[in-house]
Amino acid sequence: MLDLKLLSTFVRAAHSGTLSAVAVQVGRTQSAVTMQIQRLEEALGQSLFHRSGSGVRLTGSGERFLTYAERILKVHDEAISALSDKGLHGSIIFGSPEDYLSAFFPALLKSFGTKYRDVEIKVVSAPTVELRTLLHARQIDLALVSTPDPVGATDVVRRESLVWVGSRPALELYDFGDTVPLALSASNAVDHKGACAAMARAGLRYKIAYASNSLAGLIAVARSGLAISVMAEEAVPSDLHILGAPLPPLPGLGILIAFADTDRSPAVATFADHIRSVLPSL
């Protein structure tokens, strides 16, 4: 008999490539995760992973077994959801940029959790570029991701404005001279590229004074008055100001739901439908 908890741990380890990452995901110690993998290998009589200092990778037997393990877990969730009096069951790993989590996730989680109390949602906060990598590696199930220039896109769930943000209501109130210091997310992020391109088109001089993927860090620098930042409009704290001209208009963003390259469990599909229904009106 195969223990479903062992199967779940095995699948997570196969996707992440490190037992330490699995330990964080399931809230257990790395030694406990290692013991679970060993128990599964003993039950199957097969070695499922090659182990090294850098992590784990599947053996030939592990690659064959991964397909079965994923199918077993999916069918299990479907059966419980279909036959249980308590409704939808399962576990979801959800990814989102930090500003979307701050602006939208509390309302999404509250409204979903009220209806589906037996679905566990774990959250990973990362920029869109990193989230797409995690989705490809199947380390998360679904994610909110950003796309630039959403005009005409049919799969956009919500359109969001990027805005300039500072501690004072107008650029003229700062003593920046002829070079505007900017506090932006990392250089591969959509908002970073959009801000730099907008400044270049407007012919305004600027410098990157602070770069971080931490929304809290960007907010702190904006509050200090040492630089101007860029954020999604819905994520701007009430004590900061949205700045206009002479700063140039910023491009809009589209928010999409992206999925891992795998069959979607009932819990994942239902949560995605819930996002499509609720997010546009938040």
Q: What is the pLDDT of residues 142-177, one digit of tens each?
A: 999 988 866 666 688 998 889 999 999 999 999 999
Whether residue 116 is found in the same domain as residue 216: yes
Structural domain total, the chain = 2
**Mean predicted confidence (pLDDT) in 221-236:** 93
Q: Mind listing the pLDDT tens digit for each residue in 16-57?
A: 888 888 887 777 888 999 999 999 999 999 999 998 877 889
> Among 25-29, 236-240, 265-269, 274-278, whose mean pLDDT is lowest?
25-29
pLDDT of residue 80: 74
Q: How confident is the model at residue 196 (pLDDT cuts 50, 70, 90)?
A: very high
Least confident interval from 65-74, 80-89, 150-159, 250-259: 80-89
CB 229 within 8 A of CB 219: yes
Q: What CATH number should be reported for the domain holding residue 197? A: 3.40.190.290
Q: Would you place residue 86 in the very low, low, confident or very high pLDDT band (cuts 50, 70, 90)? A: low
Instruction: Find the CATH number of the domain harbouring 11.
Output: 1.10.10.10
Give the Cα-Cα-Cα angle 47, 48, 52 (nearest 5 degrees).
90
Are residue 13 and residue 145 in the same domain, yes or no? no
Beta strands in the chain, from DSSP E residues, in sequence order: 49-52, 55-58, 90-96, 119-125, 142-148, 158-166, 180-184, 206-211, 228-232, 241-243, 252-259
Q: Which pLDDT band, with edges at 50, 70 and 90, does 247 fall under?
A: very high
Mean pLDDT of 100-117: 89
pLDDT(190) > 60: yes
Residues 244 and 109 in one domain: yes
Q: The dihedral of CA 185, 168, 104, 158: what is its sign?
A: negative
pLDDT of 228 over the 90 cut: yes
Q: Are residues 196 and 170 in the same domain?
A: yes
Do 17 and 95 lie in one domain? The reply is no
Q: Does the structure show a pLDDT above 90 at 213?
A: no
Range of the domain at 3: 1-83
- State residue 152's pLDDT score: 60
Mean pLDDT over each residue of the chain, to the nearest integer: 88
55 and 154 part of one domain? no
Q: How confident is the model at residue 182, as a pLDDT?
A: 96
- The pLDDT confidence band at residue 261, using thresholds 50, 70 and 90, is confident
pLDDT recorded at residue 256: 92
Do residues 58 and 102 share a domain? no
Report d(CA 220, CA 133) in Å as an integer. 28
For residues 240 and 163, membership in a common domain is answered with: yes
Q: Which of 58, 83, 108 is the last residue of a domain?
A: 83
Final residue of a structural domain among 54, 83, 112? 83
Looking at residue 36, what is its pLDDT?
93
Among the candidates 66, 83, 100, a domain finishes at 83
> 143 and 274: one domain?
yes
Q: Judge if 220 and 110 occupy the same domain.
A: yes
Query: Do 93 and 40 fall within a single domain?
Result: no
| 110 lies in the same domain as 27 | no
